[in-house]
Structure 1
Amino acid sequence: MERRYFLRGAVIGTSTAAFGGSLWRGAAVAEPARPGVGPYGALRPADGHGMRLPSGFSSRVVARSRQRVGPTAYVWHDAPDGGACYADGTGWIYVSNAEVTPGGASAIRFSSSGAVTSAYRILSDTRQNCAGGATPWNTWLSCEEVSRGYVYETDPWGARAAVRRDAMGRFQHEAAAADPVRRTVYLTEDESDGCLYRFTPTTWGDLSAGRLQVLVAGSATSGSYRWADVPDPDGSPTATRQQVPGAKRFSGGEGCHYANDTVWFTTKGDNRVWQLNVARDTYELAYDDSLISGSAPLTGVDNVTSAASGDLFVAEDGGTMDICVITREGIVATFLRLDGQSASELTGPAFSPDGSRLYFSSQRGSGGSSSGGITYEVTGPFRR
C-alpha cells in the first residue's frame, strides 16, 4: 500500500543546533525564505547513482530494498522512510522506517570509517511506519501513518523490544520532535485538516503516561497560539483533531524538527515550512512557495532536519526529487537532485553525529515500487 499527495500545481547529532540570521531570529514575524544562491554552489552533472551534487560532495548507496546490506546477511526493508542517526562509540547508527504493511523499522551500524558493520530489525509487524523522531534518551519514535495509528518507541541498538506508546494518541501520525527544555514531544498529523500536537510525559524519559494537547490558534499564517488538552487521546469515536474547538488546521502535516526553542514542521498540502517559537508562543511561515514569483525551488515539502550550521535540509515528495537547503540567512536553494526517479520521494534525511555525512532514502527508487527503495549517504564539506 503506497501513498502520494497530488501537489498544488503539479538526527540526533544535530537536533539541538542553534539557528541564527534574520530568518531564525530578530523580528517577531520574520520574512519567509526566498530563492537565492545557496552556500554550496551549482549542481554538477549526475554521478553514477543519478545524483547531482555540488562540487566537493560524493554519494554512495548503503542499502537497497530486498537486498543484503553491505557485508551483512540482513535484507533491507521496502519503502524506507523517516530516519535518524545515533552516536555509537566511535561509529554511529542510522535507523529507517518502512512505510508498508506490515512495516516496522531497521538499523544500520557504521564504524568510525563509515564501513557498514551490521544491520538488523528494531520494529516489526506494524503499519505504514512513515516518519518519527529521535529522543534525547536515544530511542527512536516510529509513527504509523494510518487512521488511529500508534507511536512505537524502539531501541536503535536492537537490544530492547519496541513498546507501543498509547498515551501519545491514536491518529494519522507522521513525525515527532522532542524538546528537552520544555520536556515535551511535538507530533504532526498527515490529514488535509490535521493538527499539531504535543505530548508531555508525566515523567521525562518515560512515555507510558502523560498529557496530549493540540495547538489552538486562528486561521492566519502568523500569530500567537495556546495548547488545549485532547479529552480522548484514543480518538474513538471522535477523531482527536475534532475534539477541541478552535484547533488550528494544517494541510497535510509532514516532517517535524526541534532546535533552539523552535519547532520546524512542514505541510505538504500547501507546500509550507512553519516555525513555532515555543519560548514566545508564536508561529509564522519559514517558507511558502505561493509567495515566490516564477518557479519555486522547493515543492512537495516532506521530511526535515538541520545541519550543525543551523541550516535546514528539506526533502521533497514529488517536485524535482530534491533535497533543498534553507539557510540561516533565509535563502532557499537546491542542495541535491536525483535524476530518473520521479515516481519516488526522498525521505529520512539525517546527519551523522559529526555532521560530515547525510543519510536519506529514495522510497521507491527508479521503478516506482516500494520494493525498489534505495538508501544513500552523501559526504562532503557541510557547513559547521
Structure 2
Amino acid sequence: MNNVTYQDSAPEQHSRRTLLKRAVAGGTLALGFGALDGLVRAAHATDRVSTTVGLGDGGYGELRPVIRTDPVTGYRQELLLPHGFDFALFGLAGTTMDDGHVTPLGHDGMAAYRGPHGSYRLVRNHEERTGSGQVSPSGDAADRYDGSGGGGTSTLQVSVRSGQVEVERVWTSLAGTIVNCAGGPTPWGSWLSCEETTAGTRHAGWERDHGYVFEVDSRADRPVEPKPLPALGRFVHEAVAVDHRTGIVYLTEDRGTAGFYRFVPARRGDLTLGKLQMLAVADAAGYDTRTGQSQGAELPIEWVDIDDPDPRDAETDPLAVYRQGHARGGATFARLEGCWWGGQAVYLVSTNGGDVGEGQIWEYRPHPGGRDGGTLSLVYESFDRAVMSFPDNITVSPRGTLLVCEDTSRSDPQLIGVTGEGSTFPFCVDPTDDEWCGATFSHDGRVLFANLQGSTSGSPLAPETPGRTVAIWGPWQRGAL
C-alpha cells in the first residue's frame, strides 16, 4: 500500500476568420468551458484575442514548482502548479503490480470511476508499440487476446482515508492487445479501450488481427475476457465518447486523413450489433475540414453508412473504412485524437488540423433526441504554436470546464483550461517535456488524475522513461475547473 498526503480542498470551403492575432505571454493551449457552449459564442466574436486570465477570472494564478517522489521507485517528478495545489505520483511503468505482472509501457487514455467503499477506480490504457518479435506480453497467457500482445489496460484502486491517498491495488484488466492509445468511458460503468493500429497476422507477425475496440468493466477485479468489437470498425482508433441519452458511440480516427464515426447500437449498451456511420456535411459531399475553416460557423450534418466495418484488407490499407465513408460523401479531418461527451455534445480534437497545422477543437451537437442530423462547429483553431500546439486528449470537469492535454514538440507541454468567455489559463506544466495523456476528473470533483506517457517501446522492466500517473488536488473553487 502506497501512502501520499492528500489535501482536500472538398466542396466550397468556408474562409476562416482569425480568432487569435497574437500569443499572449504565458498563454498556451487549452480548452475548457464554464458553460460548454460558451466558446462557440466566443468564436463568433469578431477579432477576439485570447488572453491568459488569473484569479477571479477563471484562472488559478501563477504556477510554482512542486516536486514529489514515487514511494515505490523513488522517481522524482516536478510539476508546475498553482498555489495551494499538490500532487501524488504512482503506478509507474516497470513496477510490479499486485497480480505479479510488470506495469506495461506507454501510459495513455484513462477514466475515473466510483470504486468500492468510497474509493476511485482508474482504468488506464497502455500504448505499447514494441514489435511482435521483441515485445514482452502482458498479463497471463490465458487472459491474452493475442499471445504476444504487450498492451492493454491496468486498473488502479485509489482511496482517500485520514488525509492520505492510498493506492490500494493495481492489476491487469485487459491483456494481449497492442497500441491501446485512448478510448472513453461509458454511462454503464465500463471503459472502451481502442487499438491505434490495424497490424495483424499477414504482415506484422501478430497472432491475431488488431485495430479493434475492447470493453473493460471498471468493476472487474480480474482481467476481462478480451472480446474485440468489430461492429465498431477496424481502423486506426483513437478515442470514443458515448451519448448518455441514446448510447450512441462516437469514434475518432488518428490518421492525417481521417473520418469521424458513430456507432448506433441495435440495443443500448450492447456494442456487438448495430450500424457504423461516418459524418458528412449536408449538401457538401467530401467536405475537407483540415484548412480554410471559419470558427463558429455551424455546418449541418448527416451520417452515411459504412457497409463493411471490418474489412479484410484493413491491415494493408488502414484507411479501408474511411474510403467507404468518403465514397459516400463523408467529411475528412486531420488526425482526430481525443473526444469527450459533455453538455449534450461531443468535443473532438484534430491534433494538427488548421491553416498552420497546430490544432483544431470541434464540437458536434446532435439534434434533440440524438439520433439524426445535428451541427458541427469549429470552436477553436490555433494560429500560433505558442498559443496552442497539438492538443490531444480532452476531458470535461464536473463543473463543466473542458481541459485539454498537449502533445507537442514545443517545450513544457501543459494542461490548460479556458473560461466560458474563451480566455485561456495554464493549469499544470511538465518541465520534463513528456506527453500528457488521460486527464480525467473524479466523480466528486476533488481529484484530477492524468498520465505522463513515458516510453512506448522497449523492455517494461527497464523503461528509458517510465510512464506515470499523477493525482492533482487543491482549491478548485478558485478558478473555472
TM-score relative to the length of structure 2: 0.70
Q: Which residue of 2 aligns with 1:87?
A: 114
Change (3 A) 1:29 1:182: farther
Kindly indicate whether the alpha-carbon contact (under 8 Å) linking 1:144 and 1:174 is maintained by their aligned counterparts in 2. Answer: yes
- Aligned residue in 1 for 2:155: 107
In the alignment, is residue 35 of structure 1 matched against residue 97 of structure 2?
Answer: no
Aligned to 2:255: 191
For 2:121, the aligned partner's letter is: I
How far apart in 2 are the matches of 1:133 and 1:33?
32
**Alignment partner of 1:273 is 2:361:** yes
Tell me by how many angstroms 1:219 deviates. Answer: 3.2
Are 1:380 and 2:461 an aligned pair?
no
Measure, in 1, the Cα distance between the counterparts of 2:464 and 2:452. 10
- Is 1:354 the counterpart of 2:444? The answer is yes
CA contact (8 A) 1:66 1:75 kept: yes
Q: TM-score under structure 1 normalisation? A: 0.86
The answer for the alignment partner of 1:6 in structure 2 is: none
| CA–CA distance in structure 2, aligned partners of residues 65 and 203 of structure 1 | 38
Measured after TM superposition, the shift of residue 73 of structure 1 is 5.5
CA contact (8 A) 1:155 1:161 kept: no
On the 8 A contact 1:66/1:371 being kept in 2, the answer is no
Amino acid of the residue matched to residue 213 of structure 1? Q
In the alignment of these two chains, the number of paired residues is: 361
Q: Which residue of 1 aligns with 2:136?
A: none
Q: How far is 1:265 from its partner?
A: 0.8
From 314, 333, 343, the counterpart of 1:260:
343
Q: Does 1:364 align with 2:426?
A: no
Verify the 8 A CA contact 1:23 1:30 in the aligned structure 2.
no
Give the Cα separation in 2 of the matches to 1:33 and 1:363: 32
Which residue number in structure 2 is paired with residue 219 of structure 1? 288
RMSD of equivalent CA atoms: 2.6
The partner residue of 1:228 within 288, 301, 304 is 304
1:300 partner letter: F
Q: Distance in 2 between matches of 1:273 and 1:21?
A: 13
C-alpha distance in 2 between matches for 1:374 and 1:351 = 17
1:324, distance to aligned residue in structure 2 (A): 1.1
Distance 1:242 1:33, change over 3 A: farther
Alignment partner of 1:173 out of 232, 237, 252: 237
The structure 2 residue matched to 1:133, chosen from 171, 174, 184, is 184
Instruction: For 1:30 and 1:135, locate their aligned partners in 2 and report how far apart those are by CA, in whole Å.
Output: 35
Q: 1:328 aligns with which of 420, 424, 427?
A: 420
Give the gaps of 5 or more residues in structure 1.
1-16
Per-residue CA deviation, residues 197-256 of structure 1 (Å, 9 max, x unaligned), is: 001111101111111000002335341111111111013447111112321111101000
Structure 2 partner of 1:289: 382
**Would you say the 8 A contact 2:33–2:418 is kept in 1?**
no
Rg larger for = 2
Whole-Å separation in 1 of the counterparts to 2:304 and 2:49: 30
Percent identity (aligned) = 32
More displaced 10-residue stretch of structure 1: 171-180 or 309-318: 309-318
Does 1:20 pair with 2:35?
A: yes
Which of 157, 164, 167 lines up with 1:116 in the alignment? 167
Q: Does 1:182 align with 2:238?
A: no
Change (3 A) 1:295 1:18: closer
Match among 46, 52, 66 for residue 80 of structure 2: 52
CA contact (8 A) 1:97 1:142 kept: yes
- Of residues 314, 327, 332 in structure 2, which corresponds to 1:249? 332
Q: Distance in 2 between matches of 1:382 and 1:198?
A: 34
C-alpha contact 2:99 2:172 (8 A) present in aligned 1: no
Contact 1:64 1:374 in 2 (8 A): yes
